[in-house]
Amino acid sequence: MKSEKNSGAQASTGDHYVKSAEKTLSVLLAFTADNPRLSVTQVAEATHLTRAAARRFLLTLVDLGYLTTDGTQFSLTPRVLDIGAGFLAGLDLPKVAQPHLNRLANDLDESATLSILDEDDIVYIARATAPRLHTVTVNLGNRLPAWATSMGRILVSELPPEDRQAFLDRTEISTFTDRTVSSRDELGKELERIREQGWCLVSQELDEGLRGLAVPVRRGDTTLAAVNVSLHTSHLRGLSIEDDVVPRLQAVAVSIAEDFGGRSQ
């Protein structure tokens, strides 16, 4: 952790160095995957600022939209992603994922997709159509309710507990087939099970005869997206979902993450 006495950086960078910029960044960087919600006191301790100074920086960042607060604790907002948007513009996740999805679709003869979570929906950002489905139109940007899809459930299961609960509290369950989950309580239990096993199978809950299987694409503690295959009940050719298909998806997810951001240590 960087302390206040680390003023050697200022001496080495010259008179132009703005200490308040360093302090602002240190406040933002205090929020981590292990500590996503912090109080004023915790931020002051992490940044070696006084409690009064930490509070001023935090409230300024709330005013600017980079933090949110419930009056006691603070957390980052999606706007912090704007800071790295220029850099990330050169790292095109769908483009990186496409060849991997193509190989997966050819391997299984099933459609493969990459999706992200946007509030309560999943959004398709890349897709490879099964070779046997030559006339199917690829509709990138299409949305589906996250609660009803394998991609959505795996992504929601990766959220912090309070965010998962908030998602459940505002979800309205609709019946698509007689296999669709029937209540928020049932969905909550399913999300817990998915989180523990690390993959999600939604079997014939959206459409009769169709199963969706999804795994997360992770970089360290960050979940980037979900990889999914649509498994028609008549096309598995004796493959076991858990023993054969899940490992293939997990390998593809690892490959996408490594190509997107470098091999994990």
Dump pLDDT digits (tens) for 174-191: 888 888 888 899 999 999
Residues 26 and 101 in one domain: no
Whether 16 has a pLDDT exceeding 80, the answer reads: yes
- Provide the number of structural domains found in the chain: 2
Average pLDDT, the chain: 84
Confidence tier at 82 by pLDDT (50, 70, 90): confident
Whether 260 has a pLDDT exceeding 90, the answer reads: no
Residues 159 and 218 in one domain: yes
Confidence tier at 235 by pLDDT (50, 70, 90): low
Confidence tier at 104 by pLDDT (50, 70, 90): very high
Confidence tier at 11 by pLDDT (50, 70, 90): very low
Query: 235 vs 39, which has greater pLDDT?
Result: 39
Query: 234 vs 244, which has greater pLDDT?
Result: 244
C-alpha closest to that of 228 among 158, 96, 128, 157: 128
Is residue 1 assigned to a domain? Answer: no
Residues 69 and 182 in one domain: no
Q: How many CA atoms lie within 13 A of 221 on its CB side?
A: 7
In this predicted structure, which of 19-28, 129-138, 248-257 has the lowest mean pLDDT? Answer: 129-138
User: What pLDDT, on a 0 to 100 scale, did the predictor assign at position 1?
Assistant: 40
Instruction: Supply 163's token pair.
Output: 């965010």
Question: Phi and psi for 252 in degrees, rounded to 5?
Answer: -65, -40
Is residue 99 assigned to a domain? Answer: yes
User: What pLDDT, on a 0 to 100 scale, did the predictor assign at position 13?
Assistant: 63
Domain hosting 120: range is 91-261
C-alpha closest to that of 74 among 108, 18, 28, 106: 28
Is residue 15 assigned to a domain? Answer: yes
In this predicted structure, which of 4-18, 53-67, 137-151 has the lowest mean pLDDT? Answer: 4-18
Is residue 246 assigned to a domain? Answer: yes
Residues 75 and 99 in one domain: no
Rounded-to-integer distance, Cα 127 and Cα 124, Å: 7
User: What pLDDT, on a 0 to 100 scale, did the predictor assign at position 221?
Assistant: 82
Instruction: Supply 1's token pair.
Output: 């952790």
Is residue 3 assigned to a domain? Answer: no
Residues 52 and 105 in one domain: no
C-alpha separations of 160 from 11, 20, 115, 151 in Å:
41, 31, 19, 17
**Radius of gyration for the chain, computed over Cα atoms and rounded to the nearest angstrom:** 22
Residues 95 and 25 in one domain: no
Confidence tier at 8 by pLDDT (50, 70, 90): very low
Question: Phi and psi for 131 in degrees, rounded to 5?
Answer: -55, -30
Domain of 48, CATH number, reads 1.10.10.10
Mean pLDDT to the nearest integer, 40-51: 96
Residues 47 and 177 in one domain: no
Residues 54 and 118 in one domain: no
What percent of the chain has a predicted confidence (pLDDT) above 70? 85
- In DSSP notation, the chain reads ---TT-THHHHHH-TT--HHHHHHHHHHHT--SS--EEEHHHHHHHHT--HHHHHHHHHHHHHHTSEEESSSEEEE-GGGGGGGHHHHTTS-HHHHHHHHHHHHHHHHTS-EEEEEEETTEEEEEEEE--TT-TTPPP-TT-EEEGGGSHHHHHHHHTS-HHHHHHHHHH-----SSTTS--SHHHHHHHHHHHHHHT-EEEESSSSTTEEEEEEEEEETTEEEEEEEEEEETT--TT--IIIIIHHHHHHHHHHHHHHHH----
Rounded-to-integer distance, Cα 242 and Cα 118, Å: 28
Final residue of a structural domain among 57, 84, 111: 84
Is residue 162 assigned to a domain? Answer: yes
Residues counted in the chain: 265
Is residue 17 assigned to a domain? Answer: yes
Residues 101 and 75 in one domain: no
Residues 95 and 185 in one domain: yes
User: What pLDDT, on a 0 to 100 scale, did the predictor assign at position 179?
Assistant: 84
Final residue of a structural domain among 84, 116, 141: 84
Residues 197 and 254 in one domain: yes
Residues 69 and 144 in one domain: no
Final residue of a structural domain among 24, 56, 84: 84
Whether 265 has a pLDDT exceeding 60, the answer reads: no
Contact indicator for 156, 117 with CB cutoff of 8 Å: yes
Tell how strand 210-219 and strand 222-232 pair up: antiparallel
C-alpha closest to that of 188 among 205, 204, 166: 166
Is residue 194 assigned to a domain? Answer: yes
User: What pLDDT, on a 0 to 100 scale, did the predictor assign at position 86?
Assistant: 61
In this predicted structure, which of 20-34, 72-86, 114-128, 228-242 has the lowest mean pLDDT? Answer: 228-242
Domain of 257, CATH number, reads 3.30.450.40
